[in-house]
Amino acid sequence: MRLGARGRYAVMAMTDLAARQGAVEGRAVALADIAARQEISLSYLEQLFARLRRRGLVISARGPGGGYRLAKDADQTLISEIIIAVDEPMRATRCNAKQAKGCMSKGERCMTHDLWDEMGRRIQGYLASVSLADVLAGKLRDSVSDEGRSAA
């Protein structure tokens, strides 16, 4: 499964927003500042944040000192919500989820369909279990290194 630029950049920008907003409580963060820190095109971020705003994940503030704020606390904002909000598909199969048929030329499913489908579900489940606060706290790094040690 490949996560595209929209999803990656949206998560990067939202994590930056959560970190900056947490540093100065309630202050809106300018997209230009996020774009500079994360090295993402400002026009691209504007498109992403329009989608995030429509999905209720961020609130915009106009005027001097304007920018964006998280619509809910970082510990309540899930990574899966961010990715879905920017219309990033989270599936590992090449079959169209709305199709009754499979991806093969005669309409059947490929032999590995269930493998990729289950992997996609697990990835989605993992992303639904991780919040922006988890990313900011570095909890992911600890759990990955712990898993590596126990597998050895």
The more confident residue out of 102 and 35 is: 35
Which of these, 128, 132, 126, lies nearest to 16 by C-alpha position? 132
The pLDDT of residue 59 is above 80: yes
Pick the CATH number of 5-151 from 1.10.10.10, 3.40.309.10, 1.20.1250.20, 1.10.4010.10: 1.10.10.10
pLDDT digits (tens, 9 = 90+) for 118-143: 888 888 899 999 999 999 998 875 45
- Band the pLDDT of 2: cuts 50, 70, 90: low
For the chain, the domains span 5-151
DSSP state, residue 105? T
pLDDT digits (tens, 9 = 90+) for 79-123: 999 999 997 666 666 666 555 666 666 767 778 888 888 888 888
CA distances from 50 to 15, 32, 58, 100, 106 (A): 16, 14, 9, 33, 40
Average pLDDT over residues 65-75: 92
φ, ψ of residue 87 in degrees (nearest 5): 60, 35
